[in-house]
Structure 1
Amino acid sequence: MMMLHSTVTLLLAVAQLARAHADHSQVPLGAFVGTQAIPDSPTWVEKYGPQIDQPFSGPLSFSHLPYARCLEDVSMNFDIALLGMPFDTGVTYRPGARFGPYAIRSGSRRQREARGYTLSWGNNPYTLGYKVMDCGDVPVSPFDNALAVDQMEVAYSTLLARPVERTDSYLATYTSAFAKDGVEHPRIITMGGDHTIVLPILRALNKVYGPVSVIHFDAHLDTWPAYPGTSSEQSRVTHGTFFYLAHEEHLMSNTSVHAGIRCKLAGTGDIENDVQVGFQVITTDDIDTYGVDTIIKRIRKRVGDSPVYLSLDIDVVDPGLAPATGTPEAGGWTTREVKRIIRGLAGLNFVGADIVEVAPAYDHAEITGIAAADFVHDFLSMLLSEKPPQQKVFGIKDEL
């Protein structure tokens, strides 16, 4: 009897399914997909509108920007590209900066185009009429440093050669004047990676602009010759020697400047070598002696009207505020001080910028990744501003 009951139940189910195929009005919820309508079930767009990601959801791109594999998509043009270089096999102490691009993007998740306005800049860089893209990461080799350096140079040159999206801006007037071909080229903000990545970047920029001035935020000089005991040409290429190599290759002008230096040295000979490479030193302590405004004036006077590249090592910030870095040095500048200096540099002839040495394995609560992402946001306004912002008083008034 039980077997007969089960057979009848199965036959009734089959009959019901057949009637459902004949009459779509009786199809159970979820039986159809794609564009076929489900009764009494509005689509997402009909009920909630566009699929806008929350700060904590969606694909991981910088500030939820449009993302593309720009290196292979030749149709992708832009005014500013964000490019990751996950390279960290040139370090001399703690590795891990290969995860820097990921950490910076993750730190930017609360940022977005719709809420990009800041009181300090007085603008939203995403609403100034320029196309900003996240172009993903360069797939660098983790096994062969010579190959990796070449890959980074080729990648940077590939994006640098793209036409800009906007050709009627003031940016075209001054940067194209420095370019050897007289053409406006896009800017690239690079997310490292250890500081070695600047050598292939300067090689790529040299093809377009010739020697450039460098504004270098860092605790360390990075102008040392090869380390004693090295025995190969490739072993000369590290995150502490790349500026020395760039000087040898005539990639920089003799009007470059360090900001935030506080590392230990072998002696005054390191400074003498640094001068020969083309740098002037602003130490960490100078901010206490002279103040932020004087430091800004010194930097601007040093680089003048030359084409300028800005490189920011996150270790310029005190490790108490940005611990996630490979070679931390006590006594650094605050995040706020560095941000103020960056605002004061707007209007210089910037041809590109980077932030490097973010190593998230040593972070806590993403404080370094969040700070780095905020610096990148400042870079966008810096590159797109004709002059430093005028400070407006929104809080405490002068009479108080």
Structure 2
Amino acid sequence: MLRLLLLLVTLPSYVLSSSFYDNPEQDPLPPPGSDSTEELHRKWDFEWGFSGISTFAHLKHVKCLSERDTPFDIGIIGAPFDTAVSYRPGARFGPRAIRAASARQTSFRGFNPRRGLNPYSAPYTIIDCGDIPITPFDNALAVQQMSEAFLELGSRPPALVHSTNPKPKLLTLGGDHSVALPALRALNKIYGGPVAVLHFDAHLDTWHPAKYPSAWPSAQSDFTHGSMFWIASNEGLIINGSSAHAGLRSRLTGWEDYEDDERQGFLRISADDIDEMGTAGIVNAILERIGTETPTYLSLDIDVLDPGLCPGTGTPEAGGWTSREVIRILRGLEGLNVVGADIVEVAPAYDGRGEQTALVASQVAYEILTSWVGRGMAEMEKANQAVNSENTRDEL
């Protein structure tokens, strides 16, 4: 009897109310089709972190490559490609894993207190453009597909007509690191010249292709996730003397690797440098090297982080940075003129049960988006002030 009384006490009031069942005239359900479109959106156009189709941060999904009628300012584009790796494959599943890990990022709770804005509710239009359908069978064709896709999306007019950004920005979710080469080829055509590269990585990725010795060399085998910046430099896609590596700590063939790197004009910041310089010192060194006006491509290999924290990658190297350090550095670099970015080498097959590598990648993406929106809004405000000042002078 006592258990029954306790059960009755704890039951919701609508269960105890017989009128809910006995009086059909009091049915709380509205007639189907009676809600206006506005009311339907108010009721149903919402997703919890654990619900909905997996797009990045629950953003609107548009197949941008085949649908040109939806303009955007920032596009999230997946590049599920990993047939240029030198060790563990699996980064083709990186875009899917990063999107899934971004599920707790929602527009209704996306406010970034360090910048004082919510990138998902700002005037800029950010959408998930889906994935490039990249062939896994032919690397030459894959590079062509990616180059065309980046050029197509990056050449469109932005959604915000009065934006100071002449073209939309693309944030690429890799994929192995070789996807940076077609991205740089596209940017070269879009901006009419080379750009600087800010490269977060444990490895140089400026290696001469011959550093991967083979008794059966081929032109196509020169293209790897460790040689793409060497190829890009030789094609004139990277500004020599204005680029930087950050987080280096890998083994080398010999000192000649550094000589090749120096000919390509990169500043080298090793993982150990953070002990003496701190995050602020690294930020200052990068800003001094690149400047705040130079068009810059930001390329972040997730293996810049220590594999103890982010094991889900194809070429792990011990002694890396923490997620807090990387995020702190990225936040200090908002002044850079970043025209495109990637987050690559997330290989979920090697990740932990908690998806920690993918979670870090999704947070890095959020920080990049926040910086893009923050810089853009600051530039728009500055432009508006200049126009208002000019109008005031004309009136006087």
TM-score (norm 1): 0.82
The alpha-carbon deviation at position 214 of structure 1 amounts to 0.3
Aligned to 2:375: 386
Q: Is the 8 A contact 2:112 2:370 kept in 1?
A: no
Aligned to 2:187: 205
After the TM superposition, which residues 215-254 of structure 1 pair with which residues of structure 2 at under 5 Å, given as runs? 215-226=198-209, 227-229=212-214, 230-254=216-240
What is the SS of the residue equivalent to 1:320? Answer: coil
What is the SS of the residue equivalent to 1:108? Answer: helix
The alpha-carbon deviation at position 121 of structure 1 amounts to 2.7
1:51-99 Cα offsets, whole Å, 9 max, x none, are 4222111111000000010000011210000000000000000000000
The alpha-carbon deviation at position 118 of structure 1 amounts to 2.1
Q: 2:351 pairs with 363, 387, 390, which one?
A: 363
Uncovered stretches (5+) of structure 1, i.e. residues with no partner: 1-28, 30-38, 173-183, 390-400
Tell me if 1:94 matches 2:88: yes
TM-score (norm 2): 0.83
Q: 1:276 pairs with 263, 288, 295, which one?
A: 263
Q: Give the Cα–Cα distance (whole angstroms) in 1 for the partners of residues 376 and 69 of structure 2.
A: 32
Tell me if 1:291 matches 2:278: yes
After the TM superposition, which residues 52-63 of structure 1 pair with which residues of structure 2 at under 5 Å, given as runs? 52-63=46-57
Aligned to 1:318: 306
Q: Give the Cα–Cα distance (whole angstroms) in 1 for the partners of residues 376 and 275 of structure 2.
A: 25
The alpha-carbon deviation at position 50 of structure 1 amounts to 2.1
Aligned to 2:394: none
Q: Give the Cα–Cα distance (whole angstroms) in 2 for the partners of residues 347 and 129 of structure 1.
A: 20
Q: Give the Cα–Cα distance (whole angstroms) in 2 for the partners of residues 85 and 110 of structure 1.
A: 22
What is the SS of the residue equivalent to 1:130? Answer: coil
Aligned to 1:333: 321
Q: Is the 8 A contact 1:346 1:388 kept in 2?
A: no
Q: Is the 8 A contact 2:334 2:372 kept in 1?
A: yes
Residues 53 and 127 (structure 1 numbering): CA distance in 2 closer, same or farther, change over 3 Å? closer
**Which moved further from structure 2: 210-219 or 345-354?**
345-354
The alpha-carbon deviation at position 127 of structure 1 amounts to 2.5
Q: Give the Cα–Cα distance (whole angstroms) in 1 for the partners of residues 112 and 157 of structure 2.
A: 29
Tell me if 1:265 matches 2:247: no
Aligned to 1:36: none
Q: 1:109 pairs with 100, 103, 109, which one?
A: 103
Q: Give the Cα–Cα distance (whole angstroms) in 2 for the partners of residues 259 and 388 of structure 1.
A: 28
The alpha-carbon deviation at position 120 of structure 1 amounts to 2.4
The one-letter code of the counterpart of 2:263 is Q
The one-letter code of the counterpart of 2:331 is R
Tell me if 1:352 matches 2:340: yes
Tell me if 1:303 matches 2:290: yes
Q: Is the 8 A contact 1:189 1:354 kept in 2?
A: yes
1:123-157 Cα offsets, whole Å, 9 max, x none, are 21123210001000000001111111110011111
Aligned to 2:170: 188
The one-letter code of the counterpart of 1:84 is G
CA RMSD of aligned residues (A): 2.0
The one-letter code of the counterpart of 2:248 is I
Q: Give the Cα–Cα distance (whole angstroms) in 2 for the partners of residues 371 and 388 of structure 1.
A: 26
The alpha-carbon deviation at position 358 of structure 1 amounts to 0.1
Uncovered stretches (5+) of structure 2, i.e. residues with no partner: 1-23, 379-396
The one-letter code of the counterpart of 1:283 is S
Residues 114 and 101 (structure 1 numbering): CA distance in 2 closer, same or farther, change over 3 Å? same
Aligned to 2:145: 151
The alpha-carbon deviation at position 388 of structure 1 amounts to 12
Q: 1:135 pairs with 124, 129, 136, which one?
A: 129
The one-letter code of the counterpart of 2:355 is E
The alpha-carbon deviation at position 122 of structure 1 amounts to 2.4
Identity fraction in percent: 52
Q: Give the Cα–Cα distance (whole angstroms) in 2 for the partners of residues 274 and 369 of structure 1.
A: 30
Residues 85 and 231 (structure 1 numbering): CA distance in 2 closer, same or farther, change over 3 Å? same
What is the SS of the residue equivalent to 1:89? Answer: coil
Q: Give the Cα–Cα distance (whole angstroms) in 1 for the partners of residues 264 and 170 of structure 2.
A: 25
Residues 269 and 124 (structure 1 numbering): CA distance in 2 closer, same or farther, change over 3 Å? same
Aligned to 1:85: 79
The alpha-carbon deviation at position 49 of structure 1 amounts to 1.7
The one-letter code of the counterpart of 1:386 is R
Higher gyration radius (CA): 1
Q: Is the 8 A contact 1:199 1:242 kept in 2?
A: yes
Q: Is the 8 A contact 1:358 1:368 kept in 2?
A: yes
Q: Is the 8 A contact 1:220 1:262 kept in 2?
A: yes
Q: Give the Cα–Cα distance (whole angstroms) in 2 for the partners of residues 186 and 347 of structure 1.
A: 18
Q: Give the Cα–Cα distance (whole angstroms) in 2 for the partners of residues 278 and 228 of structure 1.
A: 25
